[in-house]
Amino acid sequence: MTNKQKMLSKSVRNILLAGLVALGPQTAMAQSMFAPGWTMNTETASLRFQSVKKETVVESSTFGTYTGSIDENGLASIRILMDSVDTNVDLRNVRMRFLMFETFQYPEATVTMQLDPAQLEDLEEVRRKVMNVNYTIDLHGVTSDREAEIAVTLLDNDTVSVTSATPISLPVADFNLEGGLAKLEEAAKVDIIPSGTVTFDFTFNRADSAQEFVTASNAMNVEAGFNVAIEEEGNFSLASCENRFDTMSLTDNIYFARGSSRLDTTSEPILNSIVEIVDRCPDLAIRIGGHTDSDGSEANNQVLSEARAQSVRTFLIEAGADGQRVDAIGYGETIPVVDNTTPENKQRNRRIEFSIVE
């Protein structure tokens, strides 16, 4: 390099350094790293959760729909559609949705994480940083502040990868999921360890402008609002219908006023889901069975079980189900699933079941 070229190179370098000093290290990094905003590349993203059954059998599952972004201030936001849980088996998907996660009541999970520009100011130089960050997760109606170890990798000037450096443990008790886990164990007839681990590998692309970032973020929010459960399209097969009605019988999310056949409004989400299933099983006749515990006289329990089953039938028909394919019957206290010896057992025996009429 000639002396003239060296002097020119030094002058350019001095100008750049002066600009960075004027901006300040944090401001310069914030602008170069986060502005005008980043959106997740869902085609290359990976989000998985692992569970253990029978003490040693590990199952790995994922979700079909989730979106994410990082705004100009470094706030990362992830939105997960819980109905899109994907275990690679339709029956397991249905059980996870309706028994474990209760997606009819809690359709989404969200995660927010503040990335600190000061921690990433040398990312251009080192390319990859591993660090501990605080994050907030909203899952199953519970909001929890937690900590995770993540790795941030600058793949190029417009692409950044954010991954879990170590698996993230989420105990079911922290998110009021114990009841759902018990239902899942009963349905699958296996013991499941009451904690899962989550791993992720997200790639974000820098937007060309602030307006493009806002437009892309709005589009993702609209797209993620659709029901995209991982299941067959159109009408269900016979096996799929049977799986769904068997699962609906275990949800225990149909509530009545005490000693009454009046449906509580909190029952509407699961009943609306059942309407959709009835519609997608158009060739089948469905029976609604009402059951009670043993409190009170047998005669009164018989009348109550019939009235409750009829109330469910009326709701389904008014919501659009074909009444000619749905009947209701009461069994009173004659078919308990457990002994009526404790309040918990009595609660299990007070139930509505769904079956296909042969």
Domain locations in the chain as residue ranges? 28-223, 238-357
Q: What is the pLDDT of residue 224?
A: 53
How would CATH label the architecture of 28-223?
Beta Barrel (2.40)
**242 contact partners, CB below 8 Å, separation of at least 6:** 356
d(CA 97, CA 61): 13
How would CATH label the architecture of 238-357?
2-Layer Sandwich (3.30)
Percentage of the residues of the chain whose pLDDT score is greater than 90: 78
- 304, containing H or E segment: helix 298-318
Per-residue pLDDT of 244-274, as tens digits, reads: 999 999 999 999 998 999 999 999 999 999 9
Helix, strand, coil percent content, the chain, rounded in steps of 5: 40, 30, 30
Per-residue pLDDT of 314-345, as tens digits, reads: 999 999 999 999 999 999 999 999 999 999 99
Q: What is the pLDDT of residue 235?
A: 96
Beta-strand runs (E) in the chain: 38-40, 46-53, 57-63, 66-70, 75-81, 85-86, 108-114, 128-139, 142-156, 159-164, 168-171, 195-206, 285-291, 326-330, 351-357
Q: What is the pLDDT of residue 105?
A: 95
Q: What is the pLDDT of residue 214?
A: 85
Check pLDDT > 60 for residue 30: no
Amino acid at 5: Q
Percentage of the residues of the chain whose pLDDT score is greater than 70: 88
> Could you tell me the pLDDT band of residue 223, with boundaries at 50, 70 and 90?
low
Q: Do the domains 28-223 and 238-357 sit in the same CATH topology, yes or no?
A: no
Q: Which of 207-211, 295-299, 334-338 has the lowest mean pLDDT?
A: 207-211
> Could you tell me the pLDDT band of residue 15, with boundaries at 50, 70 and 90?
very low
d(CA 162, CA 151): 6
> Could you tell me the pLDDT band of residue 12, with boundaries at 50, 70 and 90?
very low
Check pLDDT > 90 for residue 24: no
Q: What is the pLDDT of residue 231?
A: 87
Q: What is the pLDDT of residue 222?
A: 57
- pTM comes to 0.86
> Could you tell me the pLDDT band of residue 181, with boundaries at 50, 70 and 90?
very high
Task: Calculate mean pLDDT across residues 298-306.
Answer: 97
Check pLDDT > 70 for residue 11: no
Q: Which residue has the higher pLDDT, 91 or 26?
A: 91
Q: What is the three-class DSSP state of 30?
A: helix
**201 contact partners, CB below 8 Å, separation of at least 6:** 45, 46, 161, 163, 164
> Could you tell me the pLDDT band of residue 32, with boundaries at 50, 70 and 90?
low
d(CA 149, CA 133): 6
Task: Calculate mean pLDDT across residues 74-95.
Answer: 95
Check pLDDT > 80 for residue 131: yes
Tokens coding 310? 């009829």
